[in-house]
Amino acid sequence: MFYTKNVPGWERAVRIVMGLMALGFAAMSWGSPLAMGAGIMGAILSMTGLVGFCPMCAMVGRKLDKAS
**pLDDT tens digits along 12-40:** 999 999 999 999 999 998 788 899 999 99
* Residue 48 maps to a domain: yes
Residue 32 placed within a domain: yes
Torsion angle defined by CA atoms of residues 51, 52, 56 and 61, in that order, rounded to the nearest 10 degrees: -140
Domain region containing 37: 9-59
Q: Which residues contact 10 (CB under 8 A, 6 or more apart)?
A: none
Q: Which of 44, 53, 45, 37 is nearest to 1 (CA)?
A: 53
pLDDT of residue 20: 95
- Is 13 part of any domain? yes
If one counts the domains in the chain, the total is 1
Of residues 68 and 8, which shows the higher confidence score? 8
